[in-house]
Structure 1
């Protein structure tokens, strides 16, 4: 099924062709026509499945019908859990906005940076991408009004609800018009999503693209049994032995991320950490250097992974396993994207072996395991 069969405008079809997008993903096939019809949508699909373009393309078409509203009254609101994801979503909108006959202004707002430029940027905004806390600050400053919002999008809704945004979300929802289109997109379907679905969505189109074994076929998974005290040296061995030029390493805490980076740098391996305790300037710089191939190793926590989207990332390493099997699939899904192969390597200590067995069972895929003692 080509994009031309989904009801998109000739201008957007041309923009898709220029970006070498030829065939819509399953989530895009189902979501685009439903959103164009102004229906509520609940979309569940793994990260990297094209969810953002799946709502951005039809939203751009719908918003064009409502241009010319009062100043500082946005037409559409996209709520996201992290600053990095806010920038990523904004970039997707702006990529396709350039092709439109009428200008549509998209702005991303989030904390960690000065609020004043964001307040000034609200002039003429049509699509607002925001983290909840900064949005409420802008509302309190009378910099933006939500009374004209026609479409609300909750992107990565699973993480937003898990991270304790519920109180902020309730304040924002109370300021929105009752009559509006609601779009919820998530990588997983949790009880929290089910609950908010019942509150927000009216007769929604429900789209579930399950992350089955076939979606992991482009990822070569491998695990090494490594004691906790030898994980650092073994990580350095893997990076050097495989001559890794770009590798994303996951840890389970900000403290561990910084510790891993310090050890790598002491051994002349270029690395930076990205996590919630870093300044926004540091996070933006690290992500830019990594995405552009100028940084060899980026060490991240699970939350920060929501803004890391690279089609040709060759390596992902789990320095520590995540608590949730779903987070494991999300982590390794940073590689093997857009049908490009990639390697996902996990360092598993003895006390993590049982948990790794649970992860493999939930994933429906066995991972080859090697004792690292035979390697060094």
Structure 2
């Protein structure tokens, strides 16, 4: 199947080609025709499945089918849980829209930057990507009107509820017109989300893409046994001796992220941290520099890492294990994307071994834990 066969216009196909997309992912094959037909969508899909393009492409296509002299007002609202995801979706929209005959103004709004700064950019916006809290801030100042929304997208809706946005989301739904298209994407469908689904969706097309378990075959999982006092030096040993050019390191806490970056920098490794305590400017700059290869190491907490989507990321390191096996699979799934292989390295202290055994059991994968006692890390 090709993108052309999905009913997309020539100018949009040129944008797809420019992004090196060769053929649509399964979720895109199912979602694009359904969205173009005006159907509501209930999608269950993980990060990395191609879901962003599955709603961005048909939304842009619908704008191309309208008159170029159309009334410029807010028609599409995309609600997301985090700033990083808002920025990422806006960038995806702009990358696909580069050759469009009918330009579409897209703005992303989120907390962490001055409200006034975002207010002045809203005029003639047709697609708005927003976090719930900042959107309600803008509504309260009468900077934005949601009464003419034609399409509502909820992306990573389960994470939105996990972060406590249920009340804000319900308040936003009350401001929208009753007649509209609704598109809901989530990694899971729990009880709270089921309630929202029932309230929002009308005879939805249901799309469920299995998690990328098969991609684990493309991920070379490695575990090293280290003592707590040797963990930092051993990490630096790995990065330097293996000449890692781009590595994403996961930690469990903000303080750990900052301390780790300080140690890496003191030892000549170009690194930056991304977490909830950083300003939005600092987070955006760190992610941009990491993608551009200006820094080699990005240290992230799980929450802040949502929205980090790099197609050819070669190495992921679990400096600390996540709480759940599902989060572990989500972390290591940042590498080994599409047809590319990747390495996922975990540093296992004695107190981590039982938890790592549980992760392996749930994952149905055996990962050998390699001793590091004989490795000389004195210089690192």
Please give the range of the TM-score, normalised by the shorter of the 2 chains. Answer: over 0.9
The range that moved more, 11-20 or 339-348, is 11-20
Alpha carbons of 1:361 and 1:180: their partners in 2 closer, same or farther (altered >3 Å)?
farther
CA distance in structure 1 between the partners assigned to 2:236 and 2:108 by the alignment: 37
The range that moved more, 58-67 or 88-97, is 58-67
Name the SS for the 1:121 alignment partner: coil
Q: Which residue of 2 aligns with 1:143?
A: 143
Shift of residue 345 of structure 1? 0.5
Shift of residue 121 of structure 1? 1.3
CA distance in structure 1 between the partners assigned to 2:209 and 2:47 by the alignment: 11
Post-superposition Cα deviations, 1:122-149, rounded to whole Å, max 9, x if no partner, equal 1111100011111111111111110111
CA distance in structure 2 between the partners assigned to 1:207 and 1:356 by the alignment: 32
Name the SS for the 1:217 alignment partner: helix
Shift of residue 212 of structure 1? 4.7
CA distance in structure 2 between the partners assigned to 1:228 and 1:177 by the alignment: 56
Structure 1 unmatched ranges of 5 or more? none
TM-score, scaled to structure 1: 0.95
Shift of residue 213 of structure 1? 3.2
CA distance in structure 2 between the partners assigned to 1:308 and 1:75 by the alignment: 27
Post-superposition Cα deviations, 1:229-283, rounded to whole Å, max 9, x if no partner, equal 3221221111112111111100011111112112212222221111000111111
CA distance in structure 1 between the partners assigned to 2:200 and 2:284 by the alignment: 33
Q: Which residue of 1 aligns with 2:298?
A: 298
Name the SS for the 1:133 alignment partner: helix
Name the SS for the 1:61 alignment partner: helix
Post-superposition Cα deviations, 1:138-191, rounded to whole Å, max 9, x if no partner, equal 111111110111111111112111111112111111111122111111233444
Quick check: 1:66–1:75 contact (8 Å CA) kept in 2?
A: no
CA distance in structure 2 between the partners assigned to 1:368 and 1:195 by the alignment: 43
Q: Which residue of 2 aligns with 1:3?
A: 3
Quick check: 1:132–1:168 contact (8 Å CA) kept in 2?
A: yes
Q: Which residue of 1 aligns with 2:324?
A: 324
What is the count of residue pairs matched by the alignment?
Answer: 375
Alpha carbons of 1:362 and 1:195: their partners in 2 closer, same or farther (altered >3 Å)?
farther
CA distance in structure 1 between the partners assigned to 2:374 and 2:205 by the alignment: 52
Name the SS for the 1:176 alignment partner: coil
Equivalences for 1:124-203 in 2 at 5 Å?
Answer: 124-203=124-203
Name the SS for the 1:289 alignment partner: helix
Q: Which residue of 2 aligns with 1:350?
A: 350
Name the SS for the 1:144 alignment partner: coil
Alpha carbons of 1:374 and 1:245: their partners in 2 closer, same or farther (altered >3 Å)?
same
Root mean square deviation of aligned Cα: 1.8
Q: Which residue of 2 aligns with 1:275?
A: 275
The range that moved more, 168-177 or 345-354, is 345-354
